[in-house]
Amino acid sequence: MAEQLTERVFVLPGGTNIGVVIADDGRAVVIDTGLNDTPARKLLRFVREDLKTDIAAIINTHGHADHFGGNAFLVKRTGAPVYAPDLDEMTLRHPLMQPIMLYGGADPADAIRTSFLVAEAGPVDGLVHLGENEIAGVNFAAHSLTGHSMNQLGYVIDDVFFCADVVFPEATLEKYPIPYLYGLTEHLQALEFARGVQARKIVPGHGPILDDINSLVDLNLAAIERVITTILEIVDRPMLADEICQQLFQHMNVTIADAQAYYLLRPTVQAYLAHLERTGALNLIVADASVIWTRR
Ligand SMILES: [Zn+2]
């Protein structure tokens, strides 16, 4: 069931929350489209049957399959143009980029060419840029929430903040104590930035709609702090990144059930290591035909 947040802003809750904004001409602009055809079909039914209108444009928050996977279906059915952040938009057009990046920039093993990581490709018609945007008659502000992805954007429309995956809900943090990250340094800035965004309602990419983001920012920061502390405890001698990963996952009871789970977390740990090197806690040295991490 859709939730109406303001006169013209709706949210369709699901595995990924989808925003629907009614433009001045009565048509709908949607924010993210879910993982695949199934949520996209539900979204189209809601727009056509309940709102009795059509989709004028699709805006994505970032280039992860669970947020743009319904694009291709909706574009075929409605012809709506698609807008996305620079850099992240590449994955919408070339979904294989996601496993390629997770696999360290190489031809990814078949084991990670999964439906969760590789959505159907779709077009991108324009970029959303930082600051004020106007798409299909809807004015909104776009803010950088880089960190969860290379160029994730959050959107403020009326008094509603679509904050994408800058925060994960409590249940997700319990299940996944090390949530996926592209870059920790910028993610920490994005979390602090998100606190200051003025909005009456906050719609995260996953989980319940919030009145206030602060307690969830705190929970997400605490999860990050636990990972940092554990990494620094583990690296009590020079170590390979793979050793750090293995010990970290064991210490934090992270289940690596399949290759996808591993390859989502391997770059996440790399992001932590880069941040810890940048902030002076760790050193990266090259020795014994390898890259080795040490405490500074
Ligand atoms: Zn994401």
SS3 call for 240 = coil
Q: Report the chain (296 residues): mean pLDDT per 10 consecutive residues.
A: 96 97 97 98 98 98 98 98 98 97 97 95 98 98 98 97 98 96 98 97 98 98 98 97 98 96 97 98 96 96
End-to-end CA distance of the chain: 53
CA of 289 to the centre of ligand 1 (A): 34
3-state secondary structure of 221: helix
- Distance from C-alpha of 108 to C-alpha of 149, rounded to nearest angstrom: 19
Q: 230-295: which CATH topology?
A: Arc Repressor Mutant, subunit A (1.10.10)
Place of tokens 């992860």: 64
C-alpha 148 – ligand 1 centre gap (Å): 6
How is the chain split into domains, by residue range?
3-223, 230-295
**Ligand 1 centroid from CA 179, angstroms:** 10
26 alpha carbon – ligand 1 mean position (Å): 30
For residue 63, report the distance from its CA to the centre of ligand 1, in Å.
7
Instruction: Quote the ligand 1 centre to 142 CA distance (angstroms).
Output: 17
Cα gap 8→49, rounded to integer Å: 16
State the helix-helix crossing angle for 259-278 and 241-251, rounded to 10 degrees. 110
DSSP 8: S
User: How far is the centre of ligand 1, averaged over its atoms, from the C-alpha of 165 (Å)?
Assistant: 5
220 CA → ligand 1 middle, Å = 15
Count Cβ neighbours within 10 Å for each residue of 170-195 and write b for 16 or more, e otherwise.
eebbeebbbbbbbbbebbbebbebbe
* Contact by Cβ (8 Å): 273, 267: no
Q: 3.10.450.50, 3.40.50.720, 2.60.120.10, 3.60.15.10: which CATH number matches 3-223?
A: 3.60.15.10
The confidence score (pLDDT) of residue 1 equals 85
**What is the model's pTM?**
0.96
